[in-house]
Structure 1
Amino acid sequence: MMKKITLFLFLVATVASQAQIRVGSKAILPYEQSYGEAELKLNGAGLREMLWIDLYAGGLYLQNQTKDPKEVLEADETMSIKLNIVSGFVTQSKMIKAVKDGFEKATFGNTAPLQDRINKFISFFSEPIVRNDIFDLVYIKDKGVVAYKNEKELGVIEGLDFKYALFKIWLGDEPASESLKEGMLGIQ
């Protein structure tokens, strides 16, 4: 009897640790992620679409759920955004252009204080981007934004001000996609 209970608990723990959510018809995101000591939970997820084509799914992972974008942007705590590319229309050049445009909007055209760090971040897109690539943009308190592509670390960009501008691309007043923003905030 004890062996059956132990096996049951092991199976429940295994299933719970691998729990995932489907976003749209093609993307799958985990419910939880860990970075160092921080346990992050999916706050919400959505799709970036253009002309009825799903481009990528985005998930926001936080330690404490919130629907307030300002709270997320200003928080100096570990959090992440996961982008799961679901379309071949998302290419390296289009991603670089979208990131540049996003920083322009996020900083109201004043990218100068962040320009060196923005250039370093853009250099992380030096390889082709293909369907099923996954980017994790993880802000770690006292370290900065650590960028990953398919679980491979690309580099670190220091500064809470950089994290603020980067996350504002998806969560600011002029986001890349309003429906994606609402999804990531768990509003829709």
Structure 2
Amino acid sequence: MTLLSVRDLTVKFATRNEPVTALHGISFDIAQGERVGVVGESGAGKSITGFALMNLLSKPGFIDSGQILFEGQDVTQMSDRAVRKLRGNRMAMIFQDPMVTLNPVLTIGQQMIETLRAHRRLSYDEARQIALVKLKGVYIPSPEERLDQYPHELSGGMRQRIVIAIALLLDPQLIIAD
């Protein structure tokens, strides 16, 4: 079964003159359970592809044409509310820089627990237990202690694993690792 189908996707960036094309007519399919890697030099459009798939392009970027079908639904045609519901629950992204991804004024636990409770009807204790399981799953040492720490108190590698654990929190069907 096809989980994600991208058809003739073109992404552009508005400039003062003509829009600049970042991606032109890319197409691919990802089946349920399949792992796909996109390889290319810096500036080739790998990150732009991920952001487009998640419908996270910031202005001046925009999807000029094409379709992004996730479980048969065209993400490019969905309302903002529908896309927000899809993100996290069904699809997630692991961003390159964990210090930009993580909120520096919230503990790791606050960020994970808030994410879980925003998407699921869970008690604080239930959400904390799930967060601990996910941290253990990415081999975070002393996960109980880490939940009470702030991002700046952790090493870069540990922050990256925390970001991975956050992407895995809601057991999404599609994970995009930038």
Question: Please, what TM-score do these two structures have when normalized by structure 2?
Answer: 0.34
Q: Which has the higher strand share?
A: 1
Question: Please, what TM-score do these two structures have when normalized by structure 1?
Answer: 0.33
